[in-house]
């Protein structure tokens, strides 16, 4: 037996009747869709056979006992939202002391607070994409962050999505909605992880929708650190109004198969977008990052740097697209993918793309693939380091450019430890 679209959609009735229309529209998209294969251009490098070979069930609605102490960041004592197997876990969350104008909570609490979540939920472009539609067709819960105009909250907001091992292979569909009204500012750390190891595959299909009002500013760090048996497919869709700024930091460490679709839509002039990515995979892991930056207004600035470190028989994929149509005059866009191969069997597929029809722009893109240089290792050995320490030092130097862009110190420290534990051959 193999996975089907119908089998992947959660069947729980909507908690809010207003969600039914959103779910119905998404289900209609799926009538004409199938799970993509390598014959689909957007998926031709991604091996979905682990997903197709597995039958998944919905997790229990009862929250299991978990210990999250190792995952809590010290910088967010009063702004933490936790979901376990897709279920809101208020006993692990900490949101009681937030200032006026800042809402952090689940979907039910957002409705009780009178927030117009259905004006934004499921409204980003690209909702017909098959895995996004699967998530939306079964939507029943979500993490909601909402800043009213002119609100600034200096501490980071932590979102933890935890999967626990069950007796059967489970599928969860986490949803996040972020709305920053004009001139508001926030920092978000979003992490997907497993609380325990398992020999069974589980499927995590996440969608995050971000809406930035005029002159709003968001720094968003997304960490995928699932169990090595997991399949993780995620989307981050961001709509930016004029003069808004979005910085996204995407870190991919875990999962047997992971894919992150990053989609940025410019809906106002003079926006700034900075995308920083780091994927570290080994064994037989596969990590895929697809990004789209769609610029439709003048005076936009975008910078993207995505790095991959690949060891053993692992496979990393990068496909980045930047669209600069005639209306997006005086755009400044840069895109670079740098890759480090640590074994002769590691594999990289990279495809940076620029599509430009505007004639008054400054745009560049490129990709590099390299290995650890023998002369660099020899130089470090001549200074007293052994081979393994020299390799770790060079890997760290490659990764730190991305890690240092994350504004939360405890996250930088945790990732530095992960880099040191990433052994070269």
Q: Is residue 279 part of a domain?
A: no
Residue 3 clears pLDDT 80, i.e. is over it: no
How wide is the angle at C-alpha 110 spanned by C-alphas 104 and 111, nearest 5°?
175
Q: What's the pLDDT score for residue 423? A: 65
Q: What's the pLDDT score for residue 63? A: 75
Q: Do 263 and 387 sit in the same domain of this protein?
A: no
Summarised one tens digit per residue, pLDDT across range 390-420 is 888 999 999 999 999 999 999 999 999 999 8
Q: Do 385 and 257 sit in the same domain of this protein?
A: no
Summarised one tens digit per residue, pLDDT across range 167-186 is 778 899 999 999 999 999 99
The domain total for the chain is 2
pLDDT-derived band at 192 (thresholds 50, 70, 90) equals very high
Q: What's the pLDDT score for residue 7? A: 63
pLDDT-derived band at 374 (thresholds 50, 70, 90) equals confident
Boundary residue ending a domain (246, 268, 290): 268
Q: Do 389 and 241 sit in the same domain of this protein?
A: no
Q: Do 254 and 396 sit in the same domain of this protein?
A: no
Among residues 337, 287, 355, 289, the alpha carbon closest in space to that of 315 is found at: 287
Q: What's the pLDDT score for residue 56? A: 85
Residue 5 clears pLDDT 60, i.e. is over it: yes
Q: Do 388 and 262 sit in the same domain of this protein?
A: no
The helix (run of H) or strand (run of E) holding residue 210 is: strand 203-212
**Residue-averaged pLDDT of the chain:** 91
Q: Is residue 296 part of a domain?
A: no
Boundary residue ending a domain (210, 241, 268): 268
Report in angstroms the alpha-carbon separations of 59 from 131, 167, 255.
18, 10, 19
- The stretch 4-10 carries a mean pLDDT of 64
102-106/143-147 β-pairing: antiparallel
394-411 burial, b at 16+ Cβ within 10 Å, e below that, comes to bbeebbeebbebbebeeb
Summarised one tens digit per residue, pLDDT across range 227-239 is 999 999 999 999 9
Q: Is residue 173 part of a domain?
A: yes
Residue 27 clears pLDDT 90, i.e. is over it: no
- The stretch 216-222 carries a mean pLDDT of 98
Boundary residue ending a domain (268, 290, 306): 268
**Percent of the residues in the chain that have a pLDDT greater than 70, as a whole number:** 95
- The stretch 219-227 carries a mean pLDDT of 97
Residue 424 clears pLDDT 60, i.e. is over it: no
Are residues 54 and 7 in contact, defined by beta-carbon separation less than 8 angstroms?
no
Q: What's the pLDDT score for residue 1? A: 38
Q: Is residue 283 part of a domain?
A: no
Q: What is the domain extent for residue 170?
A: 5-268
Q: Do 264 and 378 sit in the same domain of this protein?
A: no
DSSP 1: -
Least confident segment among 332-341, 384-393, 413-422: 384-393
Residue 313 clears pLDDT 90, i.e. is over it: yes
Q: Is residue 391 part of a domain?
A: yes
Q: Is residue 234 part of a domain?
A: yes
Cα 141 off chain centre by: 18
pLDDT-derived band at 253 (thresholds 50, 70, 90) equals very high
Q: Is residue 172 part of a domain?
A: yes
- The stretch 73-80 carries a mean pLDDT of 94
Q: What's the pLDDT score for residue 396? A: 93
Q: Is residue 39 part of a domain?
A: yes
- The stretch 57-70 carries a mean pLDDT of 80
Q: Do 50 and 186 sit in the same domain of this protein?
A: yes
Pairwise CA distance, residues 21 & 55, whole Å: 28
Residue 425 clears pLDDT 70, i.e. is over it: no
Q: What's the pLDDT score for residue 153? A: 96
10 vs 295, which has greater pLDDT? 295
| Maximum average pLDDT range among 8-22, 47-61, 82-96 | 82-96
Summarised one tens digit per residue, pLDDT across range 344-367 is 999 999 999 999 999 899 999 999
Pairwise CA distance, residues 161 & 420, whole Å: 25
Q: What is the pTM assigned to this prediction?
A: 0.95
**Percent of the residues in the chain that have a pLDDT greater than 90, as a whole number:** 72
Q: Do 38 and 169 sit in the same domain of this protein?
A: yes
Residue 296 clears pLDDT 80, i.e. is over it: yes
């Amino acid at each position: 037996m193999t996975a089907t679209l119908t089998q992947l959609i959660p069947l729980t009735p909507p908690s809010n009747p207003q969600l039914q229309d959103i779910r119905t529209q998404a289900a209609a998209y799926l009538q004409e869709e199938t799970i993509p294969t390598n014959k689909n251009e957007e998926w031709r490098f991604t091996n979905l056979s682990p997903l197709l070979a597995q039958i998944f069930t919905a997790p229990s609605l009862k929250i299991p006992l978990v210990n999250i102490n190792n995952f809590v960041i010290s910088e967010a004592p009063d702004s933490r939202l936790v979901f376990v197997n897709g279920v809101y876990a208020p006993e692990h969350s900490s949101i009681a002391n937030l200032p006026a104008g800042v809402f952090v909570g689940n979907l039910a609490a957002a409705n009780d607070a009178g927030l117009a979540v259905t004006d934004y939920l499921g409204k980003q472009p690209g909702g017909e994409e098959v895995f996004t539609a699967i998530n939306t067709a079964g939507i029943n819960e979500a993490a909601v962050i909402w800043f009213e105009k002119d609100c600034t909250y200096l501490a980071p907001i932590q979102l933890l999505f935890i999967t626990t091992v069950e007796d059967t292979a489970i599928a969860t569909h986490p949803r996040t909605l972020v709305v920053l009204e004009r001139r508001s500012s926030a920092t978000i750390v979003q992490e997907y992880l497993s609380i325990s190891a398992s020999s069974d595959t589980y499927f995590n299909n996440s969608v995050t929708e971000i809406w930035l009002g005029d002159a709003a500013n968001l720094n968003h760090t997304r960490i995928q650190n699932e169990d090595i048996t997991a399949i993780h497919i995620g989307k981050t869709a961001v709509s930016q109004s004029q003069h808004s700024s979005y910085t996204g930091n995407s870190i991919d460490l875990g999962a047997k198969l992971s894919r992150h679709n990053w989609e940025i839509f410019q809906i106002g002039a003079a926006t700034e977008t900075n995308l920083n990515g780091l994927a570290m995979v080994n064994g037989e892991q596969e990590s895929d990052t697809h990004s789209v930056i769609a610029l439709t207004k003048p005076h936009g600035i975008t910078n993207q740097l995505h790095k991959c470190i690949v060891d053993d028989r692992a496979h990393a994929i990068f496909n980045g697209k930047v669209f600069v149509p005639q209306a997006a005059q005086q755009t400044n866009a840069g895109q670079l993918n740098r890759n480090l191969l640590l074994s002769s069997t590691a594999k990289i597929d990279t495809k940076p793309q620029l599509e430009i029809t505007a004639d008054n722009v400054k745009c560049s893109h490129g990709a590099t693939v390299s290995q650890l240089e023998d002369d660099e290792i020899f130089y470090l050995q001549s200074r007293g380091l052994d081979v393994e320490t020299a390799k770790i030092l060079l890997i760290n130097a490659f990764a730190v450019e991305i890690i240092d862009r994350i504004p939360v110190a405890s996250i930088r420290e945790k990732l530095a430890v992960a880099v040191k534990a990433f052994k070269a051959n």
